Amino acid sequence: MDILLFGVVGLAILFVALFIFTQFKSAQIDKKYPPIGKFYDIDGVKIHAKFIKADNPNGSPPVVFIHGASGNLRDQMAPFEDLAKIEADLLFIDRPGHGWSERGPDENKYPDQQAAVIAKLMDQLAIDKAIMVGHSFGGAVVASFAVHHPSKVHSLLFLSPVAYPWPGGVRWYYTLTSLPVLGWMFANTLALIAGLQRIESGSKCVFWPNKMPDTYVRDTAPELVLRPKTFQANAKDIASLFNYLCKTWPKYKQITAPTIIISGNRDTVVFPYIHSDGLHQHVKSSELYDLENLGHKPDHIATELTIAAIKKLSGDQSIELKKMAEELDQKLSRQLVSQKTEISI
């Protein structure tokens, strides 16, 4: 009995220590990456977003950027905020529960509810129609937005999107963290400590086989997802996505807005032959640019191609995206060969 009691007390002390350390590190992350936008009240939920007005507007539609899983608005701002210096108003949003946005009701884990929040935010900012850009999980949100709010869509740009049910399920820690009690315990004790050890390596895996930009972690603040509430929100998003998409994907045939899809055949995070090819098949107004040597991050690796796609969707039909994609693929191929040579040496 004494041994059992000693064990229970020891576990309790360990739990408290891990909990306190997690709160301490979370506070440090908050201080390191403070809000960079404004807070907007959407049905009593504070949504953090950065709205940038164009320096020299030329009538191009606003562009709304939706980040992927484990991300925040900085992930899209890093490569695209300079677009405002050219011609377009830009809106970068922390999805509900991510970055500095509050979660709100549990239903906000679903892409259609997140799309509804974004639509109401656009109303507050007097954005009637926009080019909707979604990366990864953001692709599911953009697809739902197009289905449920077609009048607010000027056109669509999908970057390595998730849009369909997929084989293989999700990682165990997402399933665990989405549970009511055990999920809270895991997020408030072990998740942050383990996550901090993998920030750099995990980010590099998302970029594979392409090289991650040297300043990516500093510029995009992936550590924000390790804070307990954000970690739980992210896990619930991912754990509930499969069943949601099972019900939603047949509605994609309703989408009629001009659409461009950019993805990479080397993507190890999502399967382009399921998601990108599926969208191209079901959205009849779509163009697909599938690069042979690109991974999961066209926003950071194929930035110029992505900006050209936005300009084409804005109305510039002189842009030859196919030629640009072919040239970029050749460049990425040379870079991969160079990387292999450096490793072998």
Summarize pLDDT for 105-119 with one digit per residue, the tens.
999 999 999 999 999
Q: What is the mean pLDDT of residues 250-270?
A: 97
Q: What is the pLDDT of residue 339?
A: 79
For residue 56, what pLDDT is reported?
Answer: 81
Give the rounded percent of residues in the chain with a pLDDT score beyond 90.
89
Per-residue confidence at 4, pLDDT binned at 50, 70, 90?
confident
290 in a structural domain: yes
Q: Is residue 224 part of a domain?
A: no
The pLDDT tens digits of the residues spanning 96-108 come to 999 999 999 999 9
Within a domain: 135? yes
pLDDT value, residue 83: 80
pLDDT at 86: 67
Residue in this structure with the two tokens 């750099």, named with its chain if needed: 200
Say what the pLDDT of residue 228 is.
98
In a domain, 337, yes or no: yes
On the question of pLDDT at 295 being above 60, the answer is yes
Domain count along the chain: 1
Q: Is 179 exposed, middle or buried (0-12, 13-18, 19+ CB in 10 A)?
A: middle
pLDDT value, residue 68:
98
Domain extent, residue 284, equals 37-169+245-344
Nearest residue to 314 via CA among 146, 92, 127, 88: 88
Residue 122 lies in a domain: yes
Q: Is the pLDDT of residue 237 over 90?
A: yes
Residues of the chain above pLDDT 70, percent: 97
Residue pLDDT, tens place only, 122-151: 999 999 999 999 999 999 999 999 999 999
Beta strands in the chain (DSSP E): 38-42, 45-52, 63-66, 90-93, 130-135, 153-159, 259-264, 286-291
Residue 141 lies inside a defined structural domain of this protein: yes
Which residues contact residue 126 at a Cβ distance below 8 angstroms, ignoring those fewer than 6 apart? none
Over residues 163-171, the mean pLDDT reads 94
Q: pLDDT at residue 281 above 90? A: yes
Residue 96: CATH number of its domain: 3.40.50.1820
3-state secondary structure 263-329: EECCCCCCCCCCHHHHHHHHCCCEEEEEECCCCCCHHHHCHHHHHHHHHHHHCCCCCCHHHHHHHHH
Report the candidate in 19, 16, 29, 25 with the shortest Cα–Cα distance to residue 188.
19
Tell me, what's the pLDDT at 344? Answer: 46
* Buried b / exposed e along 279-312 (16+ C-beta atoms within 10 A): bbebbeebbbbbbebbbbbbbbbbbebbbbbbbb
Q: What is the pLDDT of residues 39-80, one digit of tens each?
A: 999 999 999 999 999 988 888 999 999 999 999 999 999 999
The more confidently predicted of residues 343 and 56 is 56
333, part of any domain: yes
| pLDDT higher at 54 or 10 | 54
Torsion sign, CA atoms 179, 180, 186, 191 = positive
pLDDT at 85: 73
In-domain check, residue 91: yes
